[in-house]
A and B are shown apart, each in its own frame.
Chain A
């Protein structure tokens, strides 16, 4: 196969060199009578070989065809080479044809995004279907017990995991939304230019820190701190990893996310609305509370939904901060677990893709994907609608 790839490459280069000469020869040596510059003929020959052969190569590898792939590539390359050379006449619009090949490449690239989504959906759908053929869907979605057992006979109910996920996300949002929103309001309405130029990048640093760093922060600093100064003295339990630990650290992670989204949204509120309110004698804070915020409300709701989707899908902070025990409890200082934690724990280490204990991860992933997809689409629709309102 690699031989035919090299041959195809060679043909492409050969075409790139020969085609302009042939075009000149056809035109009787006078480039002015050609429909395109000579090098456009070369470019066309190059692309006519490369584009189809690479298309075959990628399609063949994806489909898993091995044996005849090399020959097919070679045939396609030769056809492309011969075709592009034989078609050369003075009237042949080589530039248009070459550009059509390029356009094809561009379209293929944008299809990758679609293929990714299709791949995500199918990979999870396929294995989740395997799971549900071995395990009743009612038990999965409605059971409140999670105790996987690799010798079989596991209880795999999603409810305790969902509860942990939602509880942690709730705490994170309660922490992050007010702080992020107020930070955005202060920065866009009150802060001096100098303060803005210092504070904004600092908040953006928070956004650029990988989640594993937050995870370690939760594990090493926040968890023990909460245990020693809050949970243990107040009699809430002695676990360092807890809903509170994960929620607070995740809240810190979400602050820059909420504040930069809110900042955009607040800045999109037209200045005339503020001026009108101020002219009527309202103070700055009254203007913000009674004019700017109501006008920006849909956008803020959208930002909150996006933040919620981030919180629900977050993995490393909860893996290191929340614990592994599946539990339905109200005590925020107790260790609980989330959907993402269980996806990780069921798919790392020894896995057997025939057992429901492993396959359940795909059903969990599917649930996670659907929840976040709904939140994202809803948020995007709201934000989009909101933007149009003031454009």
Chain B
């Protein structure tokens, strides 16, 4: 056996060192893959969705001729309501054609096609305005109207001249004219507030679809979850952590809670459908049922985090309280609970964030329905939170099921909105933890 210096590496040492380097590279590779997946996911969503926050509008003067809208001339709303959006469409067409002629633009398009550059929703917009204020009939009024989805897509880069040539719903001439109108300032792309406030729209008009109802529904459900899950979760944790004797019964509860945290969310949907809707006869698609289902789903999360923060309060605090004559209950409520509050709050916000993004159980309780009316928090008929509604994540799912490609953009935009809400909630949780967390 030859002896060599320890400082010169022999073949075996080299091999071992190489193995070490490889192993480390695997670990780094795993992290890089995870980071790559995260950035890919976010860029994919943001690049398809950010354009949903912009919207193309045409500002045109629409002649509201009395002969068409109110033949009687009495401005009687009951009579004027008989004119449907179809009646308004011809007026919009006239307005658009007039705008094109005024600018002296050359086009081979028919008047019908020029009128068709506006969204089908535009007629409804004008009609609502006229019915709200009948006195404007007989005058020409400037309206800011939605253009159709293809033209909107053209200004956002989704629709090109090449794709328009293959598309039955639009033509390169139409896009050409739209470009000229945009140069003249008639058509402009602005920030899309309606996306956050308007209700959903039907299959043919993605340009009009908004998240108003969904955001309201999600808000209602979050209120229910907060009001129910926080007190129940905290009370259950206090009992299990501070009072429960260690016996078989509490062991069952404990295993049960950790199992509930891992039950597939869709199973909660089945529970909601069978118990809350079929058995207790709550309204289908109502935020009440959704909120209850999400409450049951969030409870285990809140209980687990609350117990952890109760556990982290040192026993000396309890002993000191008991020592000066407090009862066990007083020591918990006056001393332990306030000290554990930041941790409990953080856990609750994270639980809420989880509930906000949950989709599967809500599909089963009918929240995929097409809802255009803003749900009221309370009505005598439907009760508290009983009116049909949708929720943010379900609206995303709903839009992915529609044929028009404009809805993909809307769905991604809705996800951006959802992620922003989640980001805010998590930021608050992190802030609370940083600010109030105490290390004993």
A113 vs B265: C-alpha distance when bound (angstroms): 15
Known: A212-B397, A372-B262. A113 touches B300 (CB 8 A): yes
Asked whether any CB of chain A lies closer than 8 Å to the CB of B69, the reply is no
Bound CA span A208–B231, Å: 24
Query: Do A313 and B264 contact each other (CB < 8 Å), given the known contacts A102-B329, A106-B239, A186-B24?
Result: yes
Give the distance to chain B from A235, nearest Cβ to Cβ, in Å.
26
The B contact surface, by secondary structure, is helix
Once bound together, how far apart are the Cα atoms of A79 and B16, in whole Å? 81
| CB <8 Å contact, A105 and B235 | yes
- Identity of the chain B residue whose Cβ is nearest the Cβ of A282 in the assembled complex: B16
Residues of A within 8 A of B259 (CB): 117, 373, 376-377, 380
Q: Which of B329-381 contact A (CB under 8 A)?
A: 329, 350, 353-354, 356-360, 363-364, 366, 368
A173: B residues at CB distance < 8 A: none
Q: Which of B48, B296, B356, B366: most chain A CB closer than 10 A?
A: B296
Which residues 171-201 in A have Cβ within 8 Å of B in the complex? 178-183, 185-187, 189-190, 199
A49-73 Cβ-contact flags toward B at 8 Å (1 or 0): 0000000000001101000000000
User: By the criterion CB–CB under 8 Å, are B239 and A344 in contact?
Assistant: no
| Residue of A with least CB distance to B278 | A353
Query: Within residues 237 to 258 of chain A, which ones have a CB less than 8 A from any CB in chain B?
Result: 252, 255-256
A44 vs B374: C-alpha distance when bound (angstroms): 44
Q: Are A199 and B400 in contact (CB under 8 A)?
A: no
Distance in Å: Cβ of A380 to nearest Cβ of chain B:
6
Contact A316 B236 (CB under 8 A): no
Closest to A311 in B: B264
Q: How far is the CB of A38 from chain B (nearest CB, A)?
A: 16
Find the B residue at minimum CB distance from A95: B327
Q: Chain A CB within 10 Å — which of B17, B37, B255 has the most?
A: B37
Q: Which of A4-12, A25-33, A148-156, A217-225 faces chain B?
A: A217-225
B44 near A221 with CB under 8 A, answer yes
- Taking each of B23, B48, B238, which has the highest tally of chain A beta carbons within 10 Å of its own beta carbon? B23
Asked if A313 contacts B30 (CB within 8 A), the reply is no
Q: A64-B280, A211-B357 are in contact. Are A186 and B27 (CB under 8 A)?
A: yes
Please report the C-alpha to C-alpha distance between residue A312 and residue B262 in the assembled complex, in whole angstroms. 11
| Contact between chains at A221 and B35 (CB < 8 Å) | no
Alpha-carbon separation in the docked complex, A183 to B24 (Å): 10
> Looking at the complex, which one of A179, A315, A362 makes contact with B360 (CB distance below 8 Å)?
A315
What chain A residues lie within 8 Å of B19 (beta carbons)? 283, 285-286
**B327 contacts A99, C-beta separation under 8 Å:** yes
Q: Does B266 contact A (CB under 8 A)?
A: yes
B-facing residues in A295-319 (Cβ within 8 Å) = 306, 309-310, 312-316, 319
Q: Would you call A129 an interface residue if the criterion is a C-beta within 8 Å of the partner chain's C-beta atoms? A: no
State whether the Cβ of B105 lies closer than 8 Å to any Cβ in chain A: no
Task: Determine whether A20 belongs to the interface, using a CB cutoff of 8 Å to chain B.
Answer: no
Quick check: which of A119-127, A226-234, A271-279 contacts chain B, the rest being far away? A119-127
**A215 and B363 alpha carbons, distance in the complex (Å):** 14
B299 interface residue per 8 A CB criterion: yes
Who on chain B is nearest to A248 by CB? Answer: B37
Of the residues A110, A208, A368, contact of B253 by C-beta under 8 Å = A110
Known A116-B296, A178-B30, A185-B27; judge A216-B396 contact (CB<8 A).
yes
Chain A hits for B353, CB < 8 A: 208
- For B300, list chain A residues within 8 Å (CB): 113
Contacts of B28 in A (CB 8 A): 186, 190
Partner of A216, one of B280, B354, B412: B412
Nearest residue, chain A, Cβ from B326: A95
Q: Answer yes or no: B77 CB below 8 A from chain A CBs.
A: no
List the A side residues contacting B253 at CB < 8 Å: 110, 113-114
- Whether, in the assembled complex, A369 has its beta carbon less than 8 Å from a beta carbon of chain B, the answer is yes
Given contacts A179-B33, A190-B27, A316-B360, contact A368 B264 (CB under 8 A): yes
Instruction: With both chains docked as a complex, state the minimum distance between the C-beta of A273 and any C-beta of chain B, in angstroms.
Output: 18
Q: How far is the CA of A127 from the CA of B273 in the complex (A)?
A: 11
Not counting A110-B240, A315-B264, a sample of 9 additional A-B residue pairs whose C-beta atoms are within 8 angstroms of each other reads: A61-B280, A123-B271, A182-B27, A190-B28, A209-B419, A216-B412, A220-B412, A313-B264, A369-B264
Chosen A-B contacts, 26 in total, with CB atoms closer than 8 Å, are: A116-B260, A117-B259, A120-B270, A183-B27, A185-B27, A186-B27, A190-B28, A206-B37, A211-B357, A212-B415, A216-B412, A220-B48, A221-B44, A283-B16, A289-B23, A309-B262, A313-B265, A315-B265, A340-B264, A344-B363, A347-B269, A347-B270, A365-B267, A365-B270, A372-B262, A376-B263
Across the A-B interface, the 7 shortest Cβ-Cβ residue pairs: A313-B264, A210-B357, A186-B27, A123-B274, A109-B235, A182-B30, A285-B23
A contact set with B: CB distance below 8 Å: 61-62, 64, 95-96, 99, 102-103, 105-110, 112-114, 116-117, 119-120, 123-124, 126-127, 178-183, 185-187, 189-190, 199, 202-203, 205-206, 208-217, 219-221, 252, 255-256, 259, 283-286, 288-289, 306, 309-310, 312-316, 319-320, 340, 343-344, 347-348, 353, 361-362, 365, 368-369, 372-373, 376-377, 380
Chain B interface (Cβ < 8 Å from any Cβ of A) = 16-17, 19-20, 22-24, 26-31, 33-35, 37-38, 40-41, 44-45, 48, 231-233, 235-236, 238-240, 243-244, 252-253, 255-260, 262-271, 273-275, 278-280, 296, 299-300, 303, 327-329, 350, 353-354, 356-360, 363-364, 366, 368, 393, 396-397, 400, 408, 411-412, 415, 418-419, 422, 426
